[in-house]
Structure 1
Amino acid sequence: MSIRVVVADDQEIVRTGLTMILNVQPGIEVVGEAADGREAVSLARRLRPDVCLFDIRMPGMDGIEATRQLAGTGIAVVIITTFDLDEYVYGALQAGARGFLLKDAGPQLLSQAIHAAANGDALIAPNITVRLLKAFASGSPPKQPIEPLTDREEQVLLATARGKTNSEIAAELYISLSTVKTHVANLMAKLGARNRVEIAMWAYETNRVKKA
């Protein structure tokens, strides 16, 4: 069964391009397009796609608010933006987006992000992970985990903060995919994180990831 996607961008040529790219990727089908966030939210609630691909800067309702509106609905959101250090991206991640890409991402990375989001994973473009998370860390004291992290959880934490998917973490640590998912779930519970992106943010806020 194909992953059903709604694409939202205020530029028609961008929407058309993204739709064409996604529709030729195995296991992905674009079921709707929207020109702004309000239309995107309405369309998503009606069509119930698996994933929404949202631009950040849209008229009326931007991608951040659209993401917030869909939080808790079971519809995953991936943010795609033009700017690699866009302050709005951090807000979108706080609103519940599972990942983000730049608009110059190739078809393969775009497909990977859609599949990751649909599977409850997240993909953050590796070339901007470090810079963006460092630049937009909250600056407030990081919350403490409700229980100490195990050595393996620390390893999974660092790999997640570097933008690796569950499959990549499993290969790197020589553990099964199900074991990685268990560790990620444990990290979310211990850190009070809503998603993998918030896990990554916590790793940066606690200086667990060395600055480049």
Structure 2
Amino acid sequence: MILMSKVVNFSMANPGPVRRFLPARDLSAEESRLLGLMREAARSHQEDLDAQDVDWGLSVQDALEHLITGRSDSTADYAGSAYYTALQIIIDHNASDSETLGSYSSPVTFFSALDEALSAAGVSADLLPHQYLYSGPPAEIGFYIPRPLDGSPEIGCWPLAKAGPAVEAYRAVVDRIDADLRYDLGELIKALEVWSSEWIEGRGAWWWAEDGAIFWSITG
């Protein structure tokens, strides 16, 4: 039996530009250019799925077209996978280059265990990682996007303003966390610290926004 791993990736983006495509109205020339690249990416992703004989009942291209017109009403059983894949394409074209946090046989199991350990060590509930890795799309999107039935792919969004406090809280208790969890917690601390520092030091830069966020992607 082959156990498939899931990969947790992350990037930084301002939710505002992402929301501009949900729905996509009165786009600027640059935004129209980005939309063209998104359509190419959706087509390429669907070709990969077709090569693997994966059928979600809704193509990634059609899912993208639904989202940019402000709807997600397909009744296909696995439409959520197509919608989340299309949404990730929109995020990727408005975000920094994606980086990888790690690969896990079951990230939901791992981060649930990490939540329990951090909570037991005194970390507050609003800083526990499971809730931001699995938070779903930004709450400001004006329409509901259904989640994938099988939990893949997944999307999370978390304000960068919370990353700094999370780093401090995690670092204060890391020595009291089970050794089996400590390495991955260290990697999470490093990831959050880098983006928190970028956001804090970048205040006033052209790309900076008060609602800057870390976007999480879990695939596999």
- Confirm or deny a common fold (TM above 0.5): no
Higher relative contact order (CA 8 A, sep 6+): 2
Give the number of the structure whose alpha-carbon radius of gyration is greater: 2
- TM-score, structure 2 as length reference: 0.28
